[in-house]
Amino acid sequence: MIGRLGAAEVGLLAALVGACAGPGRPASLVTGSAQPLVVPLGVEDAVAGRQVAERARRAEVVYLGELHDNPAIHVAQAAIVRAMVAAGARPALAFEMIPEGSQDQLTAAVRSDDPADSVGRRLGWTERGWPDFGMYWPLFELARHARLPVVATDLDPDLTRQVSRGGLRAAGGAAARLASALPADPVVERAIARRLQAAHCNLFPEARIPAMVDSWYARNVTIARRLGDALREARQVVVIIGRGHQYPGGVPAQLEALRPGTRQLVVGFVEVGDPSDGVEGRRPDMADVLWLVPGPDRPDPCRGLMHQVG
């Protein structure tokens, strides 16, 4: 059931649709439309999940781009996957949160009878710095009960740290595999640099940013390669991933460069209700689906980061 929208939410909807459906936005390979589906606040998760599942029928890859700490997003993600399975799909579930080298541990944990807390420990979830595993557990339960394949996608953390500190050259022989598959684009790369600097509260010196951009690209290329590999075994992959990896230069663009013509559906979850947060900061670029969710109360992330950085 659709609830009444406030004036701010109506304005945000208009801004989101206008930004994503502008003249520079190509028609989706999946839907054939340049107009995104917008799920406003108040729509029941099960109803909206079925709408997205219908749009996802022809997709080979479906991205469910999250803000990691928002419980409402995780409920919506599970509703989408549940609706896809109910409609007869058997997608592989790919997780940004698990490094590619932990594939065996991921498969064994999901195929086990272990409860949620044991699965989280086996995956080193908390040690890797991810939010409450309980928010993600319904997805793992779905994979377990429906016998869905699971895919670990992220770059090894040690290699990520090496590249983020020393650039691609720090990766040695792996550098060629980790380089962006896209032609150089200074405009896109400046935008990536601005987002990375803002995400780190503008605390890092400018000299550090190029290596961080290299690291961002390296992770996205690795995830894209893993998705391409997964599509050799599965007809469809659903990706649980941070929304920032869906921006220009991110995983969808890298996968298109590596595997041209892959039918990709990008779902972006957009928080509403925070008047201090500009539309540009919340808008998932080029999304095929925009699902509006309430934003949780958060402590100031910069305070904790400033303490770590010193």
Would you give per-residue pLDDT tens digits along the chain (310 residues)? 334 444 445 445 444 544 454 445 566 767 666 688 999 999 999 999 999 999 999 999 999 999 999 999 999 999 999 999 999 999 999 999 999 999 999 999 999 999 999 999 999 999 999 999 999 999 999 999 999 999 999 999 999 999 999 999 999 999 999 999 999 999 999 999 999 888 888 888 888 999 999 999 999 999 999 999 999 999 999 999 999 999 999 999 999 999 999 999 999 999 986 443 433 344 455 799 999 999 988 877 787 554 454 4
- Examine residue 196 and state whether it is found in any structural domain, yes or no: yes
The CA distance from 235 to 167, in Å, is: 35
Strand-strand pairing, 92-99 and 61-66:
unpaired
Q: Which of 161, 243, 244 is nearest to 195 (CA)?
A: 244
Asked whether residue 260 is domain-assigned, the answer is yes
What's the pLDDT score for residue 24?
52
Boundaries of domain holding 187: 28-296
DSSP characters over 221-277: HHHHHHHHHHTTT-S-EEEEEEGGGGSTTSHHHHHHHHSTT--EEEEEEEEES-TTS
In a domain, 8, yes or no: no
What's the confidence (pLDDT) of residue 223? 98
Per-residue pLDDT at 20: 52
270 lies in some domain = yes
**Any domain includes 193:** yes
Its pTM stands at 0.88
**What CATH number does the domain containing 151 carry?**
3.40.50.11550
Within a domain: residue 306? no
Residues in the chain: 310
Residue 20 counted as domain residue: no
Residue 10: the pLDDT is 46
Work out how many domains the chain is built from and give that number. Answer: 1
Cα distances (Å, whole numbers) of residue 40 to 105, 204, 273:
38, 37, 12
149: nearest Cα among 76, 90, 212, 232: 90
Asked whether residue 9 is assigned to any structural domain, the reply reads: no
Residue 4 is predicted with a pLDDT of: 40
Evaluated on CA atoms 139, 121, 105, 255, the torsion sign reads positive
What's the CA gap between 108 and 123, in Å, rounded? 10
pLDDT number for residue 31? 67
